Amino acid sequence: MDFIPIDYETLRLIWWALLGTLLIGFAIMGGMDLGMGALLPAVARTDDERRVMLNLQGPTWEGNQVWLVLGGGSIFAAFPPLYAVSFSGFYLAMIVILFALILRPVGFKYRGKITDPRWRSAWDWALFIGGFVPSLIFGVAMGNALLGAPFNLDTTLRPSYLGNFFGLLSPFALLCGLVSLSMLIVMGAVILAARTEGAVAERAARYGQWAAVTAIALFALAGFWIAFGIEGYVITSAIVTDLPSNPLSKEVMREAGAWLNNYGQYPWMMIAPILGFAGMAGAAIGIKARPGALTIISAALGVLGIVATAGLSMFPFLLPSSHNPVASLTVWDATSSHLTLFIMLIATAIFLPIIIAYTSWVYKVMSGPVTNSSLGKNPNAY
């Protein structure tokens, strides 16, 4: 369309980058809360210590979930075929994630209503599930995206999913789940070690250091497995980047080691896995002392690098099809219309900076250590 100042190919690339940014934003911001939830039983061993952890998350966790909502919304509006296949095919996995996430706000609100230790212990375990389960399953989902999902498209582009929930739990997918879990635990641990004191901070630092080392080892193992153990996907026909979306208009083949091809074609992409390793290593070193901003930034860069490595390795694929590779969804054939992408970009350019500014202000206001004494001065504490 002549009146749209940005061509279709560029808009598709912009929305692919925006989707990656939103998912990375959730992995970092939401990962703090998920990681702290997964650490709850190990780090906080008394009621006072658990209250410190809950009140560290309480003021900001809802804002952090905005990144997840924005990511899901962008998939729905910018990549409708991806939304149709993933949200229907992975339906049971999504339900499990949503159920676990719902436990978190309920746990925050109801844990302190009754002083009975059994009541509080039950909600503590609910909060642990709310952190542990999503952290694991998000990684499992990424692993299945790398392997390819068992779906097909008919001639009218109507998707049909041919797998089941337990089929998602392959060894490689579970490995990716453990990478996700360990890196999010690092995010939670560095925040706990930086903003709490005493035994909670010490335990968080210890577990965070082990989680960072584990993340490095598992990330390396996943890379080795991708290089030598699984097949990637390659477009073998001419790549058309500016026509209306039709995933069936291309030819695709599976090829061993194909997910590494982009690093040879675009060497700058190597910065992603380097950041993944370096960021986690920096977090492992920095968390030994009382961590400051540099350690938190290092952990965030590690998460960014690990998530970006998956996205850059798959480009231009969004969700390959293991059943019929031709039906695989890519950046070039699974987007909304040219006009829709442009209108959404304008809305994003207006509202995303507002969200970032508000989030920054909230974290500035809520900065500082959370201790038992500070909770005693706050009548609204959990």
189-228: pLDDT as tens digits: 999 999 998 899 999 999 999 999 999 999 999 999 999 9
Tell me what pLDDT residue 166 has: 83
Average confidence score pLDDT of the chain: 92
Mean predicted confidence (pLDDT) in 240-249 = 92
Sequence-separated (6 or more) residues with CB below 8 Å from residue 126 = 103, 106, 107
Instruction: Give me the pLDDT at residue 223, please.
Output: 96
**Calpha distance 288→190 (Å, rounded):** 10
Residue 104: pLDDT over 70 = yes
Quick one: pLDDT at residue 7? 93
pLDDT at 2: 61
pLDDT at 271: 97
Q: Could you tell me if residue 159 is left (phi over 0), alpha (psi between -120 and 50 degrees) or otherwise beta? A: beta
More confident site: 370 or 242: 242
What is the band of 62 on the pLDDT scale with cuts at 50, 70, 90? confident
- How many angstroms separate the first and last alpha carbons of the chain? 54
Confidence of residue 252 (pLDDT cuts 50, 70, 90): very high
Q: How confident is the model at residue 378 (pLDDT cuts 50, 70, 90)?
A: low
Compute the average pLDDT of residues 177-196.
95
Q: What contacts 310, CB < 8 A, 6 or more positions away? A: 142, 145, 146
Q: What confidence tier does 231 reach under pLDDT thresholds 50, 70, 90?
A: very high
Mean pLDDT of all residues in 250-278:
95
**Residue 11: its pLDDT value, please?**
96
Q: Is the pLDDT of residue 1 over 60?
A: no
pLDDT in tens, 335-369: 999 999 999 999 999 999 998 998 888 888 877 77
CA quadruple 234, 155, 18, 96: dihedral sign? negative
Q: Determine the angle formed by the axes of helices 198-228 and 293-314, rounding to 10 degrees.
A: 20
